[in-house]
A and B are shown apart, each in its own frame.
Chain A
């Protein structure tokens, strides 16, 4: 775990410089450092600028470029969230810092990745789906509507269940044909 730097945190200081919101800024390891700060929150220190606390990470292209173009954003009190900058490629950063960002991404994107489809059928007027996911086996219901199973890239699907939880099939073609056929019997679009 990276310790917080000794420099005073400037996020509460209205005089501290803020990122120019009119231009996109790429964050590079030589000008910025990702670390944990007070209360274990994610912090980003930008050289000659300030320390940003309570930072979260978001993908710019979660489908097309996962692990690249990661936006680091901080909540500036009651105002709108402010983008500190964009990391072009997480691999450009030291492994420890990249890990912190990936952990932050993992927290923000709570998505089950479906690894196998066990059964698809009807239940109470919903499509009932039993699957294996990266988080373990799961059974869920989705409404039989186009907006409940949306495209993910060219070959994937994101399923949104009745609780708004998300289940991702990154590439339907990677599923065994019997599972794909079973799935497409209901989610045919």
Chain B
């Protein structure tokens, strides 16, 4: 084994502190673990070290203030019973159970939480006499970027700091590769459209200098007939250019729509496909709304990119460059003068995007809050009326509505002031050209032009004014370029983040293929959804093939987590789960999921027919198989009461069916899947007594010959179990038959007694049937 040390758990003490400790009889070199925290126990920032020696742990920091010794806390190993972390608000504590009291050994901010979570585990192993070592493997923190150390949102997340933005753009362009031909053609069209936009100004110049005011330009006056032909030709030319512009525009729009929507479609498909491969863990981190936004909105950015390229900022950037070049080519002096206000326009636009545009966020927020308030009030209108709180809700609504009014007014006032001001700035360039260019035209008209200099004609003046409009128009928008680019890259990066998120549940490269018999072993399984809170704390038990196991425990004791781990919705943090002696992480995911059928407390049905829901896991099921499964699950009879039987269309989440009916469909669905292991997770919790009875009958039939795990609050559901496992606070505390556990008079017996008391209260539905609940059972 390597002798390399951990950076985080074998920290070097500053020389001065080490010397102080040595002077006090503590040899820091003898510590097998040394970690530093950023807080002291008074809640202030201070570097405090935790040292674990053979026979004690201590915390140390430089003496000062009320501290005359470097040692802050010292606990002997023999006095400590347990070491744990406790979460505070914004930080946490490492605590030791000494002399029957949890002593706060040190405090840490959340930035150091992972380190001390690890430290607590090491110290706990040290206390229980298990071999402990620290090494480089302890420095690996999947929740921190390995490169820069920044906190990641979840294991395997992409570090936003380290993401290469240039690479993002390169990746976007790579995504466009299948459309290279179309993209090149699009760019040609974009350039052609810009070119065509410049032609009318040139034709106008010809019109003025050749036809309308030829003398001013030094041209010979045209005969009336000739002038008419020139006029016709130039107006015809203008018409032709406009028609051509329209044709190019139509082709450009259609092609952009084709390419943009296809690229977005590809992206959406990739993202969605990848999302379905990600583990349940990922969905705990992000709410469904966020993910929907990524799939629906962020992927649309690809279409936005193509649009910007053709009609938006990127096209405008080309236009500014081309027109700017032309302005200088026609008259560099006048161009320089005309562009004098350009920096002001740019500054004003930057001001707008930085200070005024964000006010629109408040309008969106106000509208969203107003919708939320309205939704809450209207959805809960019965409660509002029942408690006579109409006036209070009027006030609440007025508050939200007033926020919309005020935020909207604020934006409108600001924009109303800003727009006319910026409009004036835009016109300054034109005014300069009119004044200076006008003088030059007059000078030339009076024959005062410098010798050898080309005459400055009225046509040229009009051409320059036309180009100036084409220049200043997009200039204000171009200041958004970085803004748009940031938004685009961020949204695209968010999309790439999904694509780059490695599925946490990965199939073994060479999975073990076999048809399971259904033997299950949980071997010292430890797991937590959040880094600070272990939910399952070392559970071990086995289930023989075909055995029926009941799992009971209080809410939050970790029962459902065990099932989540068995189905590999999550992977264990420590320990093993075996099916027929094979680690489930070595099984093919499809094989594992085929082996484990789960009936959940809240059965989820999809919008569609009852038949399509029943065959969700097995599309090849025949009508006969579906009928048999539904019959076994006590679902057939109620299905047949619907006029369209199995072809009855049910709404979102099974709308139109009662809770018990939905549950029986989900049992039939699981049965049709034909798993070797069947799990019922509180399957009868949310149904009435009659439904419970029907479900229990179904459970007896469908579980025959299968390994069955039944998690239940209602102990009556467990009556067919061969063995009952009792979980409490993430630990297995009892197991045995009902009789064994009752005789033991432990937690199970207590739960049974509580439930017996409760069941003496006759339930309404039982009374309606003229019998007590006990009788019903």
Contact = CB atoms under 8 A, between A and B. Distances in A.
Nearest to A166: B90
A103 B42 contact: yes
A94 interface: no
Interface string A96-132: 0000000100111111000000000010111000000
Interface stretch (B97-105, B176-184, B415-423, B610-618): B97-105
B101 A53 contact: yes
Interface in B303-354: 354
A11 B355 contact: no
A56 B91 CA distance: 14
B401 interface: no
B161 A108 contact: no
B102 A110 contact: no
A54 B97 CA distance: 9
B456 interface: no
A129 B406 CA distance: 27
Interface in B50-79: 73, 75
Interface residues of A, number: 44
Interface in B103-119: 103-104, 107, 109-111, 113
B44 interface: yes
Interface string A170-189: 00000000000000111011
Contact of B365 (A78, A162, A188): A188
A147 to B, nearest CB: 9
B364 to A, nearest CB: 8
A136 interface: yes
B61 to A, nearest CB: 15
A110 B161 contact: no
A141 B42 CA distance: 25
B45 interface: yes
Contacts of B759: none
B569 to A, nearest CB: 24
B42 A164 contact: no
A189 B365 contact: yes
Contact of A107 (B42, B110, B151, B369): B42
Contacts of B107: 107, 110
B729 A39 contact: no
B490 A125 contact: yes
B240 interface: no
Contacts of B86: 56, 75
Given A135-B45, A163-B109, A186 B358 contact: yes
Nearest to A107: B43
B2 to A, nearest CB: 30
A75 B43 CA distance: 20
A80 B97 CA distance: 15
Contacts of A110: 39, 43, 88-91, 107, 109
A39 B99 contact: yes
Nearest to B364: A188
A103 to B, nearest CB: 7
A37 interface: yes
A30 B43 CA distance: 30
A66 interface: no
B457 interface: no
Interface string B28-58: 0000000000010111110000000000000
A78 B729 contact: yes
B558 to A, nearest CB: 13
Which label, helix, strand, loop or mixed, suits the secondary structure of the B interface?
Answer: mixed
Interface in B187-231: none
Nearest to B368: A189
A107 B101 contact: no
B529 interface: no
A109 B89 CA distance: 5
A126 B490 CA distance: 10
Nearest to B362: A188
Contact of B358 (A11, A12, A188): A188
Contacts of A189: 365, 369
B99 A38 contact: yes
Contacts, number: 113
A163 B151 contact: yes
Contacts of B729: 78-80
A153 interface: no
A19 B493 CA distance: 54
Nearest to A106: B43
A89 interface: no
A54 B45 contact: no
Contacts of A166: 89-90
B42 A135 contact: no
A100 B159 CA distance: 42
Contacts of A9: 99-101
A48 B252 CA distance: 88
A6 B55 CA distance: 28
B486 interface: yes
Contact of A53 (B73, B100, B365): B100
B160 interface: yes
B484 interface: no
Interface string A151-166: 0000000000011111
Contact of A188 (B89, B150, B361): B361
A54 B103 contact: yes
A122 B44 contact: no
A122 B489 CA distance: 13
A29 interface: no
Given A125-B160, A163-B111, A166-B90, A41 B104 contact: yes
B103 A108 contact: no
B104 A164 contact: no
B101 A37 contact: yes
Nearest to B290: A145
A113 to B, nearest CB: 11
A109 B42 contact: no
Contacts of B90: 109-111, 164-166
B289 to A, nearest CB: 11
Given A107-B93, A166-B89, A135 B101 contact: no
Interface string A34-48: 000111110100000
Contact of B101 (A39, A162, A188): A39
Given A106-B42, A110-B91, A163-B111, A54 B358 contact: no
A162 B157 CA distance: 13
A18 to B, nearest CB: 14
Contact of B98 (A39, A106, A145, A188): A39
Interface string B492-507: 0100000000000000
A136 B683 CA distance: 54
A108 B358 contact: no
Nearest to B532: A164
A54 B98 CA distance: 10
B26 to A, nearest CB: 18
B73 A125 contact: no
Contacts of B369: 189
Contact of A39 (B39, B73, B151): B73
A59 to B, nearest CB: 9
Interface string B384-405: 0000000000000000000000
Contacts of B354: 185
B101 A185 contact: no
Considering the complex of A and B, which 7 residue pairs feature the smallest CB-CB distances, nearest first?
Answer: A53-B101, A54-B102, A12-B100, A110-B91, A164-B110, A110-B90, A166-B90
19 contacts: A9-B100, A41-B101, A41-B102, A53-B100, A54-B95, A54-B102, A79-B729, A103-B43, A107-B42, A109-B89, A110-B90, A124-B163, A145-B290, A162-B153, A163-B111, A163-B151, A165-B110, A165-B111, A186-B358
Interface of A: 9, 11-12, 37-41, 43, 53-54, 56, 74-75, 77-80, 103, 106-111, 122, 124-126, 135-136, 141, 143, 145, 162-166, 184-186, 188-189
Given A9-B100, A135-B44, 19 more contacts: A9-B99, A38-B99, A40-B73, A41-B102, A43-B101, A75-B86, A77-B97, A106-B42, A107-B88, A108-B88, A108-B89, A110-B89, A110-B109, A125-B160, A125-B490, A162-B153, A164-B110, A166-B89, A188-B365
